[in-house]
Structure 1
Amino acid sequence: MDKTKIVSIEDRIPKLKEQRRKKANRRLVMVLILFFTMILFIIYFQSPLSKVKNITVSGNESYTEEEIERHSGITTQDNIWKMDSEKAQQVLEKLPEVDKADISVRLPNTVTIKLIEHEKLAYLSEGSDFHAVLESGKILEKGLADEMPVNAPILIGFKEGKALDEMIASLETLPGEILSTISEIHYNPSETDAYRIHLFMNDGYEVNATLRSFSDKMIHYPSIVSQLKLTKGVIDLEVGSYFKAYEAEEAEEVEIEKES
């Protein structure tokens, strides 16, 4: 047997032992790290740090933060990892004003609740109260007593039913810049038209219309007004389009310019 080869192998034996020892040490370090990490997690779960300390709420307009916290069922006594955020989300989304709710955890102990509420398209006048009408068609039972809403049209004379449903569907299709020009919408049915309405606009005009064609014709309102040269009066959109100035005896026809 070649002695040089035997010597070469013998020289390599200490190096192999050293490599095995280093591998064993690395494994021991990994085990120790894993062990202490588990210990830290156990301590964390058993300590007050794992309990909810802060609850932040955003996107809420119809409810206070305290009301949202109460509806969600999440409290500062809950373990941040054991709370049922999915159930809390479902409960919040059952509130008539809430469209979507998102609940997330921000370490170490903060719960974040983000809401998206239904848009309030109008307010239904009932006596001295104003009930918000949501884009979903739902009328909120909770009214704004003795408080005049200013950010949406006021509906007067409407009740739940086909006319109100048609009204809400029409308002949903109008651009925001036109919706914001409407002050009041009165339900004013006649013998020939059960869907007749009368509008008072924020810019001083009045509009007669029917819900059957209201959204199609009202979208041209800015174009119609631009032709009137600030002369105030009543715009009739029921059949064709006519305008009668307050001081005039006869109505003059106004042609609607179609917008591309």
Structure 2
Amino acid sequence: MPKPPRKDYWQAAMVIIISSIVLIASLFMISPLSRQKEITVSGNKNAIESQLIEELGIKKSDYLTTLLFQASRFERNLKSKDKWVKEAKLVYHFPNQFTLRVKEYRIIAYRQTDKGYVPILENGTRVDTVNASELPGSFVTINLDQEKEVRKLVQKLAKLDKSLVDSIKVISSVDSSSTKDLLLLEMKDNNSVRVPLSEIDTKLPYYSKIKKNLTDGSIVDMEVGLYSTTADIEASIAKHKTTATTESSENASNDENTDSTQASEANSQEGSQSVTQATVSQ
């Protein structure tokens, strides 16, 4: 009796294997195990783990296959609901475990309010107020009133080198007749920088190159060009301008008085001449 071809054996084996896989998968799908999911979170520092899992929008009735093939939908849910989350990724581990890997937005600065300090993230978003005890040992404080300016400033700071941003202590607005968006940056090395908000991301990096040549308490002016001065020099200049203005006003007043006196004398002379002429005519 001839033996069956080897090819038939392989075909029969493949049918049995595929059928077994389908059977096991079917049994798994109708069992409670198909809905049992274990989710752990990694990468979060400020966001709460239980809240992140809830914000994914995963239901108890969702199958494991739903998470496998629709992971991007749940990741989008989380990013749209949680202010801290910059990136989210669901990673599957056999048999029913998932790891939610998140990357949070970086805190760029804080804004002080009556209720505490408000963290401002790198995308300009503000999150819940924290107490002074919750603040890091070193941070940047922003004292700007306009929300639009705060968001623009934070987004520009996020583009700068982190060490440069960390060297800033306080950022405030400056009154300037020529530059409406001029800022004053109080640095942690006791120097100060004046720079327009619109140009802070292009001009401020120069500070790292020149700070080693500055004397303590220097003021670096980047409003127009770049030069350094000190508070004493600026006070002396301001005093000189005030003195010059006062002297100019006094001189102008004296000139006016002199002109007035000369005019009076001229009028008196003309009057005397008129009287003399009138007498002669008589």
Tell me if both proteins adopt one fold, taking TM over 0.5 as the criterion.
yes
| 2:141 aligned residue | 154
TM-fit CA distance, 1:182: 0.7
Structure 2, unpaired ranges of 5+:
238-282
Instruction: Determine the C-alpha separation between the residues in 1 that align with 2:183 and 2:11.
Output: 81
| 2:265 aligned residue | none
- Note if 1:107 corresponds to 2:91: no
Instruction: Determine the C-alpha separation between the residues in 1 that align with 2:43 and 2:213.
Output: 41
**Greater gyration radius:** 2
After superposition, what is the alpha-carbon deviation per residue over 1:33-87, rounded to whole angstroms, capped at 9, x for unaligned?
2222222222222334333342121222331111100111235664211344332
- Note if 1:174 corresponds to 2:160: yes
Check the 8 A contact 1:120/1:152 in 2, yes or no: no
| 2:16 aligned residue | 32
Check the 8 A contact 1:125/1:155 in 2, yes or no: yes
| 1:208 aligned residue | 194
Number of corresponding residues: 232
Q: Per the alignment, do residues 214 and 87 of structure 1 end up closer, same or farther by CA in structure 2, a change over 3 Å counting?
A: closer
- Note if 1:74 corresponds to 2:22: no
Q: Per the alignment, do residues 153 and 19 of structure 1 end up closer, same or farther by CA in structure 2, a change over 3 Å counting?
A: same
| 1:131 aligned residue | 118
TM-fit CA distance, 1:203: 2.0
Please report the TM-score for the alignment, with normalisation by the length of structure 2: 0.70
Instruction: Determine the C-alpha separation between the residues in 2 that align with 1:155 and 1:139.
Output: 12
| 1:60 aligned residue | 44
Check the 8 A contact 1:232/1:246 in 2, yes or no: no
After superposition, what is the alpha-carbon deviation per residue over 1:206-255, rounded to whole angstroms, capped at 9, x for unaligned?
223332433333111122211125x234333334312216799658xxxx
Check the 8 A contact 2:140/2:166 in 1, yes or no: yes
Check the 8 A contact 2:89/2:100 in 1, yes or no: yes
Check the 8 A contact 1:69/1:75 in 2, yes or no: no
TM-fit CA distance, 1:172: 3.1
Check the 8 A contact 1:186/1:197 in 2, yes or no: yes
- Note if 1:236 corresponds to 2:221: yes
Q: Per the alignment, do residues 52 and 246 of structure 1 end up closer, same or farther by CA in structure 2, a change over 3 Å counting?
A: farther
After superposition, what is the alpha-carbon deviation per residue over 1:2-47, rounded to whole angstroms, capped at 9, x for unaligned?
xxxxxxxxxxxx5xx2144x54444333322222222222222233
TM-fit CA distance, 1:137: 2.6
Determine helix, strand or coil for the equivalent of 1:124. Answer: strand
More helix by share: 2
Structure 1, unpaired ranges of 5+:
1-13, 252-260
**Paired AA for residue 25 in structure 2:** F
